[in-house]
Amino acid sequence: DGGITQSPKYLFRKEGQNVTLSCEQNLNHDAMYWYRQDPGQGLRLIYYSQIVNDFQKGDIAEGYSVSREKKESFPLTVTSAQKNPTAFYLCASIPRGGDPNSPLHFGNGTRLTVT
Amino acid sequence: KNQVEQSPQSLIILEGKNCTLQCNYTVSPFSNLRWYKQDTGRGPVSLTIMTFSENTKSNGRYTATLDADTKQSSLHITASQLSDSASYICVVSAREYGNKLVFGAGTILRVKS
């Protein structure tokens, strides 16, 4: 089955620690995205990558970092600089970046709680 | 100001009944409008994608309509089932911002027996 796998499903961290969220896809998609979802708000774009070894900041990139060393993988690191990291994080992909009519395929998210 | 507004915020209906969810947007021009279904604790799943030239699109018991003149869309669910309980998210692709996706906050639907 093709899809996007996010792990872990739940993550708990102490304030001040960096944490990395995993996102792996076997859809052979070029473009991958990280979104943050908070209650009562629409999804907000953190980072995106249209090809391997290239990525761009989204609307709320501060306190986050990413890498795209392999087509299948797009890990997100939440650093201690992120002021309010507790949220539901969603990874998504599309076959080709820039295709306006391509539906996003989402993973099932990682719920991060920082105390 | 939110560029995509959804109403109502939440809705409870009885199994078997129909319902309509609303989406108003100010994003212009846009490439397409999408509806997603998100089950609790899961990622969103695409229901429909409509370009500005389409005014209706169906996916099983889900029918989306689009009025590009009034910048309104609706999602109609027919003969609701318990499995329709979810959040329904309206998303507009903004052509002038490189097809950036602007997400609504969603409508939470609960179908009860």
pLDDT digits (tens, 9 = 90+) for A18-66: 999 999 999 999 999 999 999 999 999 999 999 999 999 999 999 999 9
State the virtual CA torsion across A90, A47, B27, B51 in degrees, nearest 10.
-70
Does A101 contact B at CB distance below 8 Å? yes
Amino acid at A27: L
Q: Which residue on chain B is closest to A40 by alpha carbon? A: B105
Q: What residues 12-71 of chain A have any CB closer than 8 A to a CB of chain B?
A: 40-45
**Per-residue model confidence (pLDDT) at position A47:** 97
Question: Which pLDDT tens digit goes with each residue over B52-108?
Answer: 889 999 999 999 999 999 999 999 999 999 999 999 999 998 877 777 899 999 999
**Per-residue model confidence (pLDDT) at position B24:** 97
Q: Which of B103, B107, B108 to mutate to test the interface with A (most CBs of A within 10 A)?
A: B103
Are residues B103 and A42, on separate chains, in Cβ contact within 8 Å?
A: yes
Would strands A110-114 and A105-106 be described as parallel, antiparallel, or unpaired?
unpaired
Q: What are the C-alpha distances in Å from A71 to residues A46, A65, B81?
A: 18, 17, 39
Does A107 contact B at CB distance below 8 Å? yes
- Average confidence (pLDDT) over B21-45: 93
- For residue B68, the distance in angstroms to the closest alpha carbon of chain A comes to 17
Burial bucket for residue B60 (CB in 10 Å: 0-12, 13-18, 19+) = exposed
At A25, give phi and psi (nearest 5°). Answer: -130, 145
Would strands A110-114 and A10-13 be described as parallel, antiparallel, or unpaired?
parallel
Q: Tokens for B42, please give them.
A: 């899961």
**Per-residue model confidence (pLDDT) at position B2:** 63
